[in-house]
Amino acid sequence: MKYVYNFKDGNKDMRSLLGGKGANLAEMTHLGLPVPKGFTITTEACFSYYESAGKIKAEIVSEILQNITQLELDTQKTFGHGPRPLLISVRSGSPISMPGMMDTVLNLGMNNEVAAALITQTQNPRFVYDTYRRFIMMYADVVKGYKRTVFENRLEEYKQSKNVTKDTELDAQDLKNLTEDYLRLYEKMNQQPFPMDPTRQLLETVSAVFRSWNNERAIYYRKINHIKENLGTAVNVQEMVYGNIGENSGTGVAFTRNPSTGEKGLFGEYLMNAQGEDVVAGIRTPYPIENLKIQMPQIYQEFLNYATLLEDHYRDMQDMEFTIEQGRLYMLQTRNGKRTPEASLKIAVDMTKEGHMTKKEAIMKMSPEDLENILHPTFSSEISHRPIITGLAASPGVAVGHIYFHAKDVIEAKRQGINAILVRMETSPEDIEGMNHAVGILTSRGGMTSHAAVVARGMGRCCISGCENIIIDEQKKEIKLPNGSVLKEGDSLSLDGSKGYVYLGELPRKEAKETNELKEFLSWTDEIKSIEVRANADTCEEANLAKNLGAKGIGLCRTEHMFFNQKRILPFRKMILSQTVQERIKYLNELLPFQREDFYQLFRIMSPNPIVIRYLDPPLHEFLPKTQEEKKELARELNISIEEIETRINTLKEINPMMGHRGCRLAITYPEIAVMQTKAIIEAVILLMQENKTITPEIMIPLTGDKKEFEYVKKIIDDTANKIMKDHDVTINYQVGTMIEIPRACVLADKIAESAEFFSFGTNDLTQLTYGFSRDDANKFLPEYQKKGILTEDPFTTLDKDGVGSLIKVAIDIAKSVRPNISLGICGEHAGNPDSIKLCDELGIKYVSCSPYRIPIAKLVSAQNAINKNQI
């Protein structure tokens, strides 16, 4: 096995062996760029070091020394003595970049003899002693673990004794004195003198760099960045070049494009007569890279050429380091540059249009997380605040504002120009106006499907729900935090609805904006997509938004949300509390015009794309009044006593509403509701037809668990539709399908598919029932499950492949045996989650339906899947 590669022998595809830095240095060497000469000790040598209990094996030592000899030949320099001494850098470099986490030693090879020879050679004793002093400090730090501050303090003391403030005010003698002081200090701490043998310096340093793979900060970095533990680090040994050798020397870093905006053109900075660490340290203010064009036009042009060459070669924006030594340019490093989400998008789009990459490559380069960040406002990524509370990430985006506990107070605050956050134990339809005026919503109860979460997502308003560990007192207008402290009306909070984090005070916000690049990029995903993307939309606003964001139809229109509105909630409540069928029909008739108009408007927006309309689904008591005033109003309206209202409300209460009287169970016990909803749909299509538009509504019966249930409701729909069509003498195409969201429906999907024309998998409920996890309550134990490693992902966020996925697979397999072309979709939170979309695609799902703001992400993932599939 070969453990050491000369830069001439490697290339960019050897990252896992040579590390990222080593592979790129080799690649640049091949491209003919002026790279200081050197070699890379492989990650295999690192493994060998650990396997040999912290010893470099003899054969590896021998390879390293052979490569030093070769380096002496290549550079025409000598290691450890004059006349032209060879000084080298020894740098770590793992397969995945971990900037600053591991160790580096510069100027290695220096000793008293070398110093003397270098003075002779350069006639610059100040530079030589400065180099020597820096080497001692670095070596002591990296190899022996002595803190750099011990040496830096000596430097400070020396400057104070000379009454100067800047390093540059010290002369050669000063630095010589300091070097000697450092050597004494080292010997005092180490009980042995500083090693003058360059080979020993080298081998000790290589060992130290291997060890630095497992230092605390590197382990922590790998953990938080999900980097594998078994990669190891390579070690790069390279001839030193010096930017601090005089006024025609310098050093700098530059990107080929602006990493914040993605703008094309060199973006970077440099310092003359300085070493790399001086740029990083920020003691002197560097110049912008454009300045170099004036100061050293030839060097600038040469660097620009290399930058262009590298970007073309790597087909990605590059982050480069360079040094100018006595008027000669050296390239020290290149790598794909880190960038903001916005820049990531712009660069991918621009480089594609410039012909540097294909659309497919651009799509693969974009991460779903970056796209989500582009679509929603976020907090600046540099913030170091820690959240004071964690709740459910109910609706994405961020909000900064002052807290208010009642909808009317939010409205008043807004009137006064105050950004208000509505804080409630839970919200109800009466709060809608307040929610609309608020910048964000925070609740202590209720899950991802609570009123607050659902309405907020529809409004695109940031929302955190289910903060179980705070106590909200709406009367006292205060929040009691877990640590006992109390927040009062008007206090400031910052909410991150994408993460479920609540911060104290006001955090800086970064706004989202829709750019032309975004539109163009998304149009490419459409060309390549595998799975289709529809939207969950219940209102015209949502439908328009979804259409704008490119939804190919509505995959889930939740009709109950059409009643979450102050004008309609009253007849709806009367309907729920009806004691007779006649009474119920009376109030349903009051609701019919609203539903018909809603459907008509939705149809106009989406026509001719399909709309899946789900019939009334949630437990009815969700709509009932909670406050005494609301109950009084209802009692007055129904002309019954408030006691009677309480009694009727009590009868509707359920112990486990999620598994209670809801879904198609409502249509079976109260067929008149399904009749009204069918009338509204069919009559709306008739209105649409008068405008020469057309649509095929897909009527979806929720919560089916048995073929007979489905058929019972389908018959109501067909009978009602047939009657209206006959009365109007028209024929309207519509489909009747069902949501598959109950485990029993999965195992009996073949029977159900005999009658159902389409399926949409309701993965929210299916996950709840498959796991037996109530989404509203699982917060009591899921965090502990994740902490203890029992669950790695929240199954309500990432679709559970093993359990829920295998039930879906069964359902699809058996359903297709009966109805081979059955249309299959999924709706629910998972439809916007990248891993879940991938799983759905594998399962053979035709479309995913997600909230409008997640459409772009779903399209991106869909396109990425398509590309991956074709590559396999």
User: How does DSSP assign 543-586, residue by residue?
Assistant: HHHHHHTT-SSEEEEEGGGGG-SHHHHHHHHHHHT-SSHHHHHH
Choosing from 827, 830, 840, 850, which is the catalytic residue?
Answer: 827
Window of 8-16, 76-84, 229-237, 741-749 that interacts with a second copy by CB under 8 A = 741-749
For residue 38, what are the CA distances in angstroms to 25, 60, 496?
A: 9, 16, 48
Tell me: does residue 446 bind a second copy (CB under 8 A).
yes
Place of tokens 């949409």: 760
Give all strands of the β-sheet with 471-473 in edge-to-edge order. Answer: 471-473, 478-480, 486-488
Residue among 530 and 770 whose Cβ is closer to a second copy: 770
Tokens of 177: 């004195």
- What's the CA gap between 398 and 417, in Å, rounded? 19
Tell me: does residue 743 bind a second copy (CB under 8 A).
yes
Active site residue 467: no
Q: How many CB atoms lie within 10 A of CB 869?
A: 12
> Shortest CA distance to 332 belongs to which of 29, 17, 13, 6?
29
Tell me: does residue 228 bind a second copy (CB under 8 A).
no
Tell me: does residue 76 bind a second copy (CB under 8 A).
no
Cβ neighbours of residue 169 closer than 8 Å, sequence gap 6 or more: 159, 162
Q: What are phi and psi of 587, to 5 degrees?
A: -75, -30
Q: Which of 777, 817, 844, 869 binds a second copy (CB under 8 A)?
A: 777
Q: Which of 806, 816, 818, 822 binds a second copy (CB under 8 A)?
A: 806
- What's the CA gap between 193 and 186, in Å, rounded? 7
> Shortest CA distance to 154 belongs to which of 183, 117, 128?
183
Tell me: does residue 120 bind a second copy (CB under 8 A).
no
Residue among 191 and 669 whose Cβ is closer to a second copy: 669
- DSSP 3-state of 322: strand
Q: How many CB atoms lie within 10 A of CB 225?
A: 11
Tell me: does residue 790 bind a second copy (CB under 8 A).
yes
Tokens of 713: 């409701």
- DSSP 3-state of 211: helix
Tell me: does residue 661 bind a second copy (CB under 8 A).
yes
Tell me: does residue 621 bind a second copy (CB under 8 A).
no
Tell me: does residue 659 bind a second copy (CB under 8 A).
yes
Residue among 517 and 617 whose Cβ is closer to a second copy: 617
Residue among 246 and 803 whose Cβ is closer to a second copy: 803
Count residues binding a second copy (CB under 8 A): 58
Q: Which of 461, 665, 819, 854 binds a second copy (CB under 8 A)?
A: 665
Half-sphere exposure of 800 (CA within 13 A, CB side): 20
Tell me: does residue 583 bind a second copy (CB under 8 A).
no
Window of 129-137, 505-513, 606-614, 786-794 that interacts with a second copy by CB under 8 A = 786-794
> Shortest CA distance to 577 belongs to which of 565, 588, 563, 567?
588
Window of 75-83, 221-229, 415-423, 787-795 that interacts with a second copy by CB under 8 A = 787-795
Residue among 308 and 469 whose Cβ is closer to a second copy: 469
Q: Which of 342, 538, 776, 794 binds a second copy (CB under 8 A)?
A: 776
- What's the CA gap between 19 and 35, in Å, rounded? 17
Tell me: does residue 778 bind a second copy (CB under 8 A).
yes
Q: Which of 61, 411, 471, 592 binds a second copy (CB under 8 A)?
A: 471
Q: Which of 800, 825, 856, 858 binds a second copy (CB under 8 A)?
A: 800
Window of 276-284, 341-349, 351-359, 746-754 that interacts with a second copy by CB under 8 A = 746-754
Residue 757 beta carbon to a second copy: minimum distance, rounded to whole angstroms? 20
Q: Residues 748 to 767: which contact a second copy by CB under 8 A? A: 748, 751, 765
Tell me: does residue 769 bind a second copy (CB under 8 A).
yes
- What's the CA gap between 209 and 92, in Å, rounded? 6
For residue 662, what are the CA distances in angstroms to 620, 667, 701, 704?
A: 7, 9, 11, 10
Q: How many CB atoms lie within 10 A of CB 340?
A: 18
- DSSP 3-state of 323: strand
What's the gap between Cα 835 and its chain centre? 12
Q: Residues 629 to 658: which contact a second copy by CB under 8 A? A: 647, 651, 654-658
Q: Which of 784, 844, 868, 869 binds a second copy (CB under 8 A)?
A: 784
Tell me: does residue 282 bind a second copy (CB under 8 A).
no
Residue among 15 and 665 whose Cβ is closer to a second copy: 665
> Shortest CA distance to 610 belongs to which of 672, 670, 537, 659?
537
Residue 630 beta carbon to a second copy: minimum distance, rounded to whole angstroms? 20
Tell me: does residue 818 bind a second copy (CB under 8 A).
no
Residue among 529 and 662 whose Cβ is closer to a second copy: 662
Are 217 and 80 contacting, i.e. CB atoms less than 8 angstroms apart?
A: no
Tell me: does residue 381 bind a second copy (CB under 8 A).
no
Q: Residues 691 to 720: which contact a second copy by CB under 8 A? A: 703, 705-706, 708-709, 712
Q: Residues 447 to 466: which contact a second copy by CB under 8 A? A: 447
Residue among 314 and 712 whose Cβ is closer to a second copy: 712
- What's the CA gap between 847 and 196, in Å, rounded? 70
> Shortest CA distance to 158 belongs to which of 171, 148, 139, 145?
171
Are 334 and 308 contacting, i.e. CB atoms less than 8 angstroms apart?
A: no
Residue 535 beta carbon to a second copy: minimum distance, rounded to whole angstroms? 26
In sequence order, what are the beta bridge partners of 501? 390, 496
Residue 548 beta carbon to a second copy: minimum distance, rounded to whole angstroms? 35
Tell me: does residue 468 bind a second copy (CB under 8 A).
yes
Residue among 97 and 767 whose Cβ is closer to a second copy: 767
In sequence order, what are the beta bridge partners of 330? 323
Q: What are phi and psi of 232, to 5 degrees?
A: 75, 170
Residue among 499 and 744 whose Cβ is closer to a second copy: 744
Active site residue 840: no
Cβ neighbours of residue 747 closer than 8 Å, sequence gap 6 or more: 807, 810, 811
Tell me: does residue 789 bind a second copy (CB under 8 A).
yes
How much is the CA Rg of the chain, to the nearest whole Å? Answer: 34
Tell me: does residue 768 bind a second copy (CB under 8 A).
yes
Choosing from 356, 437, 451, 561, which is the catalytic residue?
Answer: 451
Residue among 230 and 669 whose Cβ is closer to a second copy: 669
Window of 163-171, 213-221, 439-447, 753-761 that interacts with a second copy by CB under 8 A = 439-447
Helix (H) or strand (E) holding 740: strand 735-740
Q: How many CB atoms lie within 10 A of CB 460?
A: 17
- What's the CA gap between 309 and 177, in Å, rounded? 46
Window of 50-58, 210-218, 493-501, 785-793 that interacts with a second copy by CB under 8 A = 785-793
Residue 749 beta carbon to a second copy: minimum distance, rounded to whole angstroms? 11
Residue among 227 and 668 whose Cβ is closer to a second copy: 668
Window of 29-37, 175-183, 267-275, 797-805 that interacts with a second copy by CB under 8 A = 797-805
Window of 165-173, 545-553, 570-578, 740-748 that interacts with a second copy by CB under 8 A = 740-748
Q: Which of 660, 689, 718, 725 binds a second copy (CB under 8 A)?
A: 660
Residue 163 zone, left/alpha/beta (φ > 0; ψ -120 to 50; rest): left
Binding site for a second copy (CB under 8 A): 445-447, 468-469, 471, 647, 651, 654-661, 663, 665, 668-669, 703, 705-706, 708-709, 712, 741-744, 747-748, 751, 765, 768-774, 776-778, 780-781, 784-785, 788-791, 800, 802-804, 806-807
- Which positions are annotated as active-site residues? 451, 827
